[in-house]
Chain A
């Protein structure tokens, strides 16, 4: 009963389907379900926002679904929902994605609507002001969410003064400064052709994909430059190394039953020659359920429901972090244990057997990265965003096999500095402050009461 097509086009295996005006079109065809998933990706994000208008990119793209001069916001939402479709606008620090998910029978109508929105967004003053109020209210609401609060302060501690420290949506203090004229100017001529791609997955033939991509591309706010000009710089410099020492930020909330903790330092970047070794090394240290960190914190001691480590995904050097959330009374011993584990990791590396296990895990689990058309398309788009040849992505197994025990140790020593750690937690000051100050190597302890948190963006 399954409708199979052995000849279905796959960009993951075959590269771009074609180019429209120099912009690549990707397709991962799959005909099991009558749905189509598509994504327009633009290689520029919020990291390039002007410092006095942080949030400009987010706000501009959020306003896209507010309609055109002839179509009201209500009409847009009604039309999308009526089809049962989904329109997602995902704004990140270094790229933007306009994502559509729609039943095949509604594809044409949906694309038609999206083209109108992309071609001539209304950018009305009242919509802008309403969106500003909504975003600010959302930002203030993170005070209720310990995890988000920890992440916000961790970014600020890690990337002091750099655009990576800012929330994608800007700050409550910077958003109101953005005017309609700023948004219009920001949207116009925003991207060069080299910064645009269109990808499809699902129930679509190559000719249909090309036709729809042509319509979408024709609606985008592109500069009149040839595609061969290549991607424009994002104007994002690399962040400075984090401060030397161990710096603790305690966001104080009264009577917390547990603490949310992030401990980290500088991590890796997209062109880092150590990247594959770091991936393997971190998998062994805190990347799986049986990794060292999880075993020591959760399995042996039961201190935290979750314990993991990983890298944030910036193009320039991002962060490496450990995440735990122990009960208040176990917070100090948990932090001490984590500090000891990271010191040992950097000094001695992981046992050879652990590295081999991690390599094998990454090799064997790779099939889950590419087991649906949508996931294969993600891989293709991700490679394109990072300017990484698809051949290199396809060679993931070979790259992982090439990693050695020695290269893991060397990579960790080259990148993870236990003498430049930022420790950020949301927890109860009355139970934790004294103990935190006495933690070995503590350089500074900054306590912020949760109800007086400064969301102005000042660091």
Chain B
């Protein structure tokens, strides 16, 4: 039967497995699960441990090919921070079969575009291509998984690019620098405490040997999940995957680090001097991991506090008191406990301390009296809209499936979170506010204006593990 013909998922594995005796290339069908209101996703395994997920959409003219690896900055060691992110760059260099520059050139020659991202728990690579160019993604991704070349000529210049990236997103960026300081303050042992891009000293000091070791440890089929969304059939995709990944041997990957952060008993505060005219405040409350039952109500609480212009903090701090220019918050969607962080950008002449008092008043109000019915309705509708909007494009769907596979080993976990959100009550939200938003479990970074004369060395010092931070840690 020719690839692409209509074959049921159960029939595909036997057909493909007749093509090869190689164990690492044997295909196993796992399951088909719904993915949102109108789509479904099917999961397969290759003998070498590679997981393949297919999210077909015959109405699209394009495909999005994602490869997710279970490695991010938390897997790194002190002194070697940033290696996961470094691969986001090195993976676009040469392989045994392809010279430098060939990866991007090949993708562009088919009209595609590609990129990669790294965070604490994962790294992923993606290509968006016309549907007719599916084979290009399979060939390129399998090649760089098995045959990546790492030598000084590849690694050394890319370290400079990464150093420049760090200068852009941290050393010269007030929010980046504050964020780095906050996580260092909050996580003293856990890998969430160092920046995903790595400390500047580490970026400048790791060797090609370090990179080779890292690639060998984490870049293998058993540690990867391929998600393909768009105009693709299971048969076409799996035939290509079997041909191109099937010979890559299975390798064992070390388990994820199990570092546990010691309980925080008092608030931690740091001050960061910066060449700015307005104060800023970044603070994070400790919260549970993404798969914890309290994560969804916390996420809804986030929307009630800062989501949309009707949000309590936006209304109070930005509209009524006019103390802040903006208030944002995010909830870390991590595998281990993370932070619920708030970013307050003050208006000229306004003190962050005053904004903090207002913020605490609003939180205390929810802890004491709960939220209003319309706020619960808002949080539910916004959760639904957000879930749907992330699935508008084939790329968005692949990203959602890949992300939730990494975070919860379930590509459709996001839709289960939506079900949970729709069942959440006012009491749930009040309870999580009482449980998690308490000052002694909080870390704070105050950004203060630095006069011109006192500015020297700030950027340089911040670049080396935030040594310019003036600590006034309460604990």
Q: What residues of chain A have their CB less than 8 Å away from a CB belonging to chain B? A: 1-4, 32-35, 65, 73-74, 77-78, 80-86, 101, 103, 106, 130, 133-134, 137-138, 140-141, 143-144, 146, 253-258, 288-290, 295, 298-305, 325-327, 357, 360-368, 370-372, 374, 449-451
State the total of A-B contacts with C-beta under 8 angstroms: 193
User: Across the interface, do A257 and B452 meet the contact criterion of CB distance under 8 Å?
Assistant: no
Q: How many residues of B contact A (CB 8 A)?
A: 77
Cα distance A74–B310 when bound, in Å?
7
The residues of A that contact B277 with a CB separation of less than 8 Å are 140, 143-144, 451
With contacts A1-B40, A302-B158, A361-B111 taken as known, whether A103 is within 8 angstroms of B385 at the C-beta atoms is yes
B150 contacts the other chain (Cβ, under 8 Å)? no
Q: Which residues of B contact A365 (CB under 8 A)?
A: 111-113
Q: How far, in whole Å, are A85 and B389 apart by their CA atoms in the complex?
A: 11
Q: Is the CB of B322 within 8 A of A133?
A: yes
Cα separation A141 to B382 with both chains bound (whole Å): 29
B385 contacts across to A, CB distance below 8 A:
35, 84-86, 101, 103
- With A2-B59, A258-B167 as contacts: A130 and B319 at CB distance below 8 Å: yes
Q: Is the CB of A289 within 8 A of B348?
A: no
| CA–CA, A78 and B381, complex, Å | 12
Given contacts A2-B57, A130-B322, A258-B164, 11 further A-B pairs with CB under 8 A are A2-B59, A3-B38, A32-B57, A33-B392, A77-B315, A84-B385, A103-B381, A134-B318, A255-B458, A302-B159, A305-B165
B393 at the interface (CB under 8 A from A): yes
Question: Assuming A33-B388, A130-B322, A254-B456, is B164 touching A304 (CB within 8 A)?
Answer: yes
User: With an 8 A cutoff between CB atoms, is B289 at the interface?
Assistant: no
Whether A371 contacts B161 by the Cβ 8 Å rule is no
Would you list which residues of chain B between 98 and 144 have a CB under 8 Å from chain A?
A: 100-101, 104-105, 108-113, 128, 130
Q: State whether the Cβ of B467 lies closer than 8 Å to any Cβ in chain A.
A: no
* B421-449 interface bits toward A, Cβ cutoff 8 Å, 1 = contact, 0 = none: 00000000000000000000000000000
CB neighbours (8 Å) of B168 from chain A are: 258, 305, 325
- The answer to whether A81 and B164 have CB atoms under 8 Å apart is no
State A33–B392 Cα separation when bound (angstroms): 8
For A301, give the chain B residue with the smallest CB separation: B157
Asked if A80 and B345 make an inter-chain contact with CB atoms under 8 angstroms apart, the answer reads no
Choose from A33, A85, A144 the contact partner of B174 (Cβ within 8 Å). A144
Flag whether B255 is at the interface (Cβ < 8 A). no
Inter-chain CA distance A288–B161, complex, in Å, is: 17
Query: Do the beta carbons of B164 and A299 come within 8 Å of each other?
Result: no
Assess the B275–A253 pair: CB atoms within 8 A: yes
Complex interface: chain B residues within 8 A of A371 (CB): 60-62, 393-394
Please report which residues of chain B, range 154-194, place their CB below 8 angstroms from some CB of chain A when the two chains form the complex: 157-161, 163-165, 167-168, 171-172, 174
User: Is the pair A357, B108 in contact by a Cβ cutoff of 8 Å?
Assistant: yes
A357 touches B109 (CB 8 A): yes
Contact A289 B108 (CB under 8 A): yes
Find chain B residues with CB under 8 A from A254 CB: 275, 452, 455-456
From 22 to 48 in chain B, residues with beta carbon under 8 angstroms from any chain A beta carbon are 34, 36-40
- In the bound complex, CA of A81 to CA of B160 (Å): 45
Cα–Cα distance between A374 and B396 once the two chains are bound (Å): 14
List of B residues within 8 angstroms of A77 by Cβ: 308-310, 315
Complex-state Cα separation, A450 to B277, whole angstroms? 10
8 Å CB contact of A141 from B37, B157, B160, B325: B325
B412 at the interface (CB under 8 A from A): no
Contact A367 B378 (CB under 8 A): no
Q: List 20 A-B contacts (CB under 8 A).
A: A33-B391, A35-B385, A77-B308, A77-B315, A81-B378, A82-B374, A85-B381, A103-B388, A138-B325, A256-B172, A257-B460, A258-B171, A290-B101, A299-B101, A303-B164, A305-B164, A364-B109, A367-B61, A371-B61, A372-B393
